[in-house]
Amino acid sequence: MTRWLLLLWIGGTLGAQVTPPGKVPIPEDERPSKPFVWSERRLLVAPELFDAPDEWIDRSLQWADFILGTYRPALPEHPLRRAALLRLDDVLHIESAPRKELVQKWYRARMYRAIEEIERTKVTEGMRIWKLYNHGFLVRTPTVSFTFDFVPGTRQPGFAIEKEWLARLVTQSDATFISHLHGDHASQDVARLFLAQGKPVIAPEGLWKTMPEFAGKLTYPERSAKVHRIPVQGGKQVLEVVAYPGHQGATVLNNVHLVRSPEGLTAMQTGDQWNDDAPGTDFDWISHVGRQHAVDVLLPNCWTRGIARMVRGVNPKLVITGHENEMAHTVDHREDNTQTYTRLWGVGYPFVLMTWGESYGYQRVAEPRLGVDK
């Protein structure tokens, strides 16, 4: 009788629809069709958990650290890297992960190592790209360094790196680019540090303009295909910058920054670019970027609408995605490496997936590019 009741309870539990924690509202088009997920967006990836034992989290993070340290980002990708990145998805999609001290310490340790690595790394050719938090990157060439959407981490107490480490990273960057106003892409603490060091903060028009400490101090390039020349290092070097007029949805201005170094190496970061795929929308200009500029590395948000179409329009030599495992998001919108692999499958362009603190050395190759080259 006891065994029968246990089986009945298990059957009822497995058949019941999972309820998201904290009464998170699920939009109608994302309501799950299966009982083992709480959002249809998560149907084709490993289901998330409400919680997990610290032993499993700790051993998983240590193993992922070992694998990713042993098999660095490369083309072609070593298959064990994918296994480690997918295990990170499992850990970071535990609902309570942002609040877990083990996760917080693991993130900070990786950032500390990355900052120390940046401090001692001199690039002699090509460019090296470090993936920071969320959609943040530091790009270094032989002559310049610059950051995109650099933030310290989430606002969850205990998660973000300390201001001492922020200042050390700012010292290593000649300029910083902010795509839009959201806190996972724009940090006032970071902007203050750049301004205090006399370095440009390039942002979408009007960002923080009503705040006296920022008014008249940020650089607002015209949102168009115009090429701007922004001096850095006290005028010793110049960055050529295009601030394409992107959007997140209908109302949020989102600069898609294309930056060319003095060597002619070009990186383009999209911020939270997301707009309808229809005539008169952002795809009208996205489809022409590759005809206007030879883009070396595209740094898109992994969940952007029509990522394959975006990549074809920009026509880069390499794609490095960002925004995976944004810990400030609810689990159903905490984008994962699993879905990034799926979205980029069949795109036809080389791509590299990295997690926090990893870097990749890009060297321009002479082979013909896909599509138009200039």
Residue-level pLDDT, tens digit, the chain, 374 residues: 444 444 334 344 444 555 666 566 777 777 888 888 778 887 888 888 889 999 999 999 999 999 999 999 999 999 999 999 999 999 999 999 999 999 999 999 999 999 999 999 999 999 999 999 999 999 999 999 999 999 999 999 999 999 999 999 999 999 999 999 999 999 999 999 999 999 999 999 999 999 999 999 999 999 999 999 999 999 999 999 999 999 999 899 999 999 999 999 999 999 999 988 888 899 999 999 999 999 999 999 999 999 999 999 999 999 999 999 999 988 888 999 999 999 999 999 999 999 999 999 999 875 443 333 33
Residue 366's pLDDT is: 54
* Integer Cα distance of 337 and 88 in angstroms: 9
Residue 19's pLDDT is: 65
Number of compact structural domains in the chain: 1
Give the dihedral sign, CA 141/172/71/354: negative
In a domain? residue 43: no
CA atoms within 13 A on the CB side of 233: 12
* Integer Cα distance of 66 and 139 in angstroms: 25
In a domain? residue 351: yes
* CATH code, 129: 3.60.15.10
* Integer Cα distance of 96 and 84 in angstroms: 20
Residue 367's pLDDT is: 46
In a domain? residue 132: yes
CA atoms within 13 A on the CB side of 38: 20
In a domain? residue 7: no
Instruction: Give one word for 135, left, alpha or beta, with left for phi > 0 and alpha for psi -120 to 50.
Output: alpha
Q: Which residues are paired to 318 by β-bridges?
A: 297
Q: Structure pTM?
A: 0.91
Q: Tell me the three-class secondary structure of the chain, residue by residue.
A: CHHHHHHHHHHHHHHCCCCCHHHCCCCHHHCCCCCCCCCHHHCCCCCCECCCCHHHHHHHHHHHHHHHHHCCCCCCCCHHHHHHHHHHHHHHCECCHHHCHHHHHHHHHHHHHHHHHHHHCCCCCCEEEEECCCCCEEEECCCCEEEECCCCCCCCCCCCCCHHHHHHHHHCCCCEECCCCCCCCCCHHHHHHHHHCCCCEECCCCCCCCCCCCCCCCECCCECCCCEEEEEHHHCEEEEEEEEEEEECCCEEEEEEEEECCCCCEEEECCCCECCCCCCCCHHHHCCHHHHCCCCEEECECCCCCHHHHHHHHCCCEEECECCCCCCCCHHHCCCHHHHHHHHCCCCCCEECCCCCCEEEECCCCCCCCCCCC
Residue 30's pLDDT is: 79
- Expressed as residue numbers, the domain containing 67 is 54-360
Beta strands 318-320; 252-260: pairing state = unpaired
Residue 20's pLDDT is: 63
In a domain? residue 39: no
In a domain? residue 145: yes
In a domain? residue 284: yes
In a domain? residue 372: no
Measured between its terminal Cα atoms, the distance across the chain in Å is: 76
